[in-house]
Structure 1
Amino acid sequence: MGGSSSSQQAAQSETPTFFTQEEISKLKSEFETGGVEKVQPLIQNKIKELNNTELNIAMTGDTGAGKSTLINAMRGLCSKDEGAAAVGTTETTMEPTGYPHPNLPNVRYWDLPGTGSTRFTAGSYLRKIQFQKYDFFIIVSACRFRENDAYLAKEIKRLGKRCYFVRSKIDVDLNSMRRERKEFDEVAEMEIIRSDCVSGLGKAGIPNPTVFLISSFDPDRYDFNRLKEALEDDLTNVKKMAFILALPIESVEIVRKKNEILKKNIWIWATLSGGVGAIPIPGFSLACDIGILIGAIIHFQKCLGLDDASLHRLANRTGKPVEELKAAVKPHLLGEITPDIIVRIGWGTAVVTVSALELALDVVPVIGSIFGAGSSFLMTFKILRDALKDLTENAERVVRAAFEIN
């Protein structure tokens, strides 16, 4: 009795969080009265909702603070890459400008005009930039945070949105200190800079602010990872998922976070292939929808940075030859995914030996139990699970090659 209860609790805790309990109950009810065919429209609507979920992140602060460079870093781009935000020492942003993520266009970073520019005074700033559009704000400064920054933060908080303080170009300051002093303690100097920023904001009426010290050119150093974790933790479920999937592939940890999200999505793709329009794949004893299957694998490739464009962008950022990064990927996972490749790799061939119950309890808790008996569901689920495992392992190898991680 106790074992059954704990299994149920574990399953409940792993239920994909982008479905509400009300939606889960409706799925079960519809399945009981009409089978998979009645459930598929609900799943299709959910996929459409997930694909249309927008995440809008605003960067603001004084002119020349490094907002554009930070936007590029958050999207995994160099200034020379196609679609990169314009970078300059003078005011380059005169209107709010949205920059979509290269693979997930519903995730947008907005470069807002500097609060110190002549066209935007602090008093009219939030009205002119259409404040309600953005999910949260990052206030960027290359030196001390100023009165405009504090005023803006108080208004953002008053209107019910979150904001974060980023002290940019920390590498420039630390390098200057290092050249000037015989003895230099980087950690101690960073704490002095952080304390100065916190003290200044406190005097301006911002109690206990958290300040992130970053360099957009060194995303694996200083507080950059802490910033990304803070943004991730404060987002709601669906937007949190979008944010993580849009993160640049810069560490094995990020690859594994993406894997966990994509793994929880697999049952949705499998359900769609569970009935209408099943097309046999030569060499398999079961059937699934080829379009759904290949579309899902291509999505996995892009989210894990294994498509050709992502590999070229990573090569530009790290200075590694793109051929060296591609050498870390199994050849059949590069380029176009076709039915022939799926057959040749053998994804899903062992599905007959996998029980529906095992799959339902493995990665498809609660909801999986109502679909687990369908052969097309099982086939698609197994193929996508094996494909994601292969792609994740290859993405980890790419990260190690790009950043020389042992």
Structure 2
Amino acid sequence: MAEPIYETAESNCANYYDNEMMGEVMSESRNYVKVDPAQSSAEAKEEQYLLENVTLNIAITGESGVGKSSFVNAMRGLGNGEYGAAETGVTETTMKAIRYRHPTMPNVYIWDLPGIGTPNFKAKKYLKEVQFDSYDFFIIIGSLRFKENDILLAKEIKRLKKTFYFVRSKVDQDVQAESRKRYVTEEQILTKIRLRCRENLAPVGNPKVFLISTMDLGKYDFQKLVDSLKDNLSDHKWSALVESLPVCSLSMIETKKIVLKKRARVAAAAAATTVHILLLPGFSIGCEIAIMVKFLEKALTSFGLDEKYIQALAVRVNKRPRQLRSVMKSRFYEGVDKTVVAGMFRTTGMLVAKIVEGMLFAVPAITMVIAFATTLQLLTQAIEEMAEDAKAVILAAGLC
């Protein structure tokens, strides 16, 4: 995409809208009159297409009974027993992998792989039968301790140069059981579990182990696991992963903010370039609103603020949906639509910017700078508002 335009728009955005210093923006924009809007539009559209269509396949494996299906459900933001959730407590009798589509991110798939605890388990054969190359990374789950087959599988995955992570499940149950002892703190219990895992997995080269509670992903090491995944995924896949994850902690909300603000730049670039290829005065705001609505609908869902998620969360925490909605203070508490987004343009700075943009519609480079700046500022503002609502909701739900 046209990086100079991005830099100019962003550097001048604060001054322009705080002080309405249009001359400053106009002066800077003259440096980019040679920008080809058609090329910029094509690049923006390509980037947006990649973000919206990237596919992510996550493989969950381990012995039967360690909580694989519960982890699959937790990653999809579903509780055990909810509609569309993976069945739990079922004895595995097949080598068939089960694919679960994410309920709000159709290109994100979480695979519940068959158990690896059979006496005749062979890592090479197992990976071939579950189609090893189909997955972006593996999560090997163990409870109490990791077994020999877990270690054999990890070694084979490592040999084939694929990424894997060890997750120690049911940590909340261990903490509850151990905490009955006198003079034992939760931190001491967690330290003890980590040491045992380290000793247990020494044959694999002392890998990181993440302690997880599928009943409450906000506890323990789930955020650390997510942060570790960033180093082994492309930017597009990382973005898809973060957007798909449930809002389980304040840290997760901050991570989503970072990702969504990066995506906002792509949406702003698409809005700024597409309409100016047509050079139609007065058409810009309509185009920007349509792109913004689409982006903000996804952002609302990612932050767990859509009606469906609020309803499900209310049931899970035994509260009424209106109790959770009552803490939302942003303009998006009833959702995202064209009317709400159009209202975001009704400030003095935005109206003046659009008047100038209309007057200069025949100078694509200048109008692109203004359109990018206005759209990006409004999207960034919306993300901040949604993030504050998300924090208020999970606090009201008692998840933090």
**Normalising TM by the smaller chain, what interval?**
0.7 to 0.9
How far is 1:354 from its partner? 6.6
The structure-2 alpha-carbon separation of the partners of 1:347 and 1:63, relative to structure 1 and needing over 3 Å to count, comes to farther
Q: Distance in 2 between matches of 1:385 and 1:194?
A: 40
Residue 184 of structure 1 corresponds to which residue in structure 2?
A: 184
Query: 2: CA distance between counterparts of 1:265 and 1:349?
Result: 26
Indicate the larger mover: 298-307 or 385-394. 385-394
TM-score of the superposition, structure 2-length normalised?
0.79
Q: 1:215 — aligned with what?
A: 213
By how many angstroms is 1:128 displaced? 0.3
Whether the aligned pair in 1 keeps the contact of 2:79 and 2:85 (CA below 8 Å) is: yes
Q: Which amino acid aligns with 1:339?
A: K
Instruction: Give the equivalent residue in structure 2 for 1:386.
Output: 381
8 Å contact from structure 1 (residues 279, 289) kept in 2: no
Label 1:105 to 1:371 Cα distance change in 2 as closer, same or farther (>3 A): farther
Q: Which amino acid aligns with 1:37?
A: A
SS in 1 for 2:204: coil
- How far apart, CA to CA, are the structure 1 residues paired with 2:323 and 2:94? 37
Write the distance in 1 (CA, Å) between the matches of 2:344 and 2:351.
Answer: 17
Cα distance change on mapping 1:345 and 1:68 into 2, 3 Å: same
Task: Give the C-alpha shift of residue 112 in structure 1.
Answer: 0.2
Residues 81, 87 of structure 2: 8 Å contact kept? no
1:269 aligns with 2:267: yes
Whole-angstrom CA distance in 1 between matches of 2:367 and 2:384: 20
Secondary structure, counterpart of 2:64 in structure 1: coil
In 2: Cα distance, 1:74 partner to 1:270 partner: 30
* 1:329 and 1:397 in contact (8 A); partners too: yes
For residue 326 of structure 1, what is the aligned residue in structure 2?
Answer: 325
> Which shifted more, 146-155 or 295-304?
295-304
Which position in structure 1 is the counterpart of 2:36?
A: 35
Within-5 A mapping of 1:189-338 = 189-202=189-202, 205-274=203-272, 275=275, 288-330=287-329, 332-338=331-337
Shift, 1:70, TM fit: 1.0
Deviation per CA, 1:343-396: give whole Å up to 9, x if none: 4455665225679xxxxxxxxxxxxx9676555444433432333232222222
Distance 1:252 1:215, change over 3 A: closer
Unaligned runs of 5+ in 2: 1-6, 12-31, 355-363
Q: Does structure 2 retain, via aligned residues, the 8 Å contact 1:271–1:371?
A: no
What secondary structure sits across from 1:260 in the alignment? helix
**Structure 1 residue ranges without an equivalent (≥5):** 1-6, 12-30, 356-368
Conserved? CA contact 1:328–1:398, under 8 Å: yes
**Match of residue 400 from structure 1:** 395
Contact map agreement 1:122 1:151 (CA 8 A) in 2: yes
Question: Aligned partners of 1:84 and 1:251: how far apart in 2?
Answer: 22
CA deviation map 1:282-321 (0-9, x unaligned) = xxx9553442221122122112211111222332343332
Q: Does the aligned pair in 1 maintain the 2:35–2:365 contact within 8 Å?
A: no
Distance of 1:64 and 1:39 partners within structure 2: 52
Equivalent in the alignment of 1:340? 339
Aligned residue runs from structure 1 range 363-374, under 5 A = 373-374=368-369
Per the TM alignment, residue 113 of structure 1 is displaced from its structure 2 partner at its CA by 0.2
Q: In the TM superposition, what is the alpha-carbon distance from 1:104 to its structure 2 partner?
A: 1.4
Instruction: Tell me the amino acid that sits aligned with residue 91 of structure 1.
Output: E
Aligned residue identity for 1:76: G
CA contact (8 A) 1:347 1:383 kept: no
Q: Secondary structure at the match of 1:57?
A: strand
Deviation, 1:99, is 1.7
For 2:282 and 2:92, how far apart are their aligned partners in 1? 58
3-state SS of paired residue (2:201): helix
- Conserved in 1, the CA contact under 8 Å of 2:76 and 2:103? yes
TM-score of the superposition, structure 1-length normalised? 0.78
Change (3 A) 1:159 1:130: same
Query: Higher mean Cα deviation, 40-49 or 116-125?
Result: 116-125
Deviation of the 1:131 alpha carbon: 0.5
| 8 A Cα contact 2:330 2:386, kept in partner | no
Residues 173 and 341 of structure 1, relative CA distance in 2, 3 Å threshold? closer
Cα distance change of structure 1 residues 67 and 317 upon mapping to structure 2, 3 Å threshold: same
CA distance in structure 1 between the partners assigned to 2:139 and 2:222 by the alignment: 13
User: Counterparts of 1:42 and 1:101 in 2: how far apart (Å)?
Assistant: 28
Q: CA–CA distance in 1 between the matches of 2:347 and 2:97?
A: 47
Q: Which has the higher contact order (CA 8 A, sep 6+)?
A: 2
The one-letter code matched in structure 2 to 1:189 is I
Identity across matched positions, percent = 35
- Summarize the Cα distance change of 1:173–1:279 in structure 2 as closer, same or farther, 3 Å threshold: farther
Q: Secondary structure at the match of 2:219?
A: coil
Aligned to 1:17: none
Q: How many residues align?
A: 360
Deviations along 1:97-127, one digit per CA (max 9) or x if unpaired, are 1222222122222110001247964341000
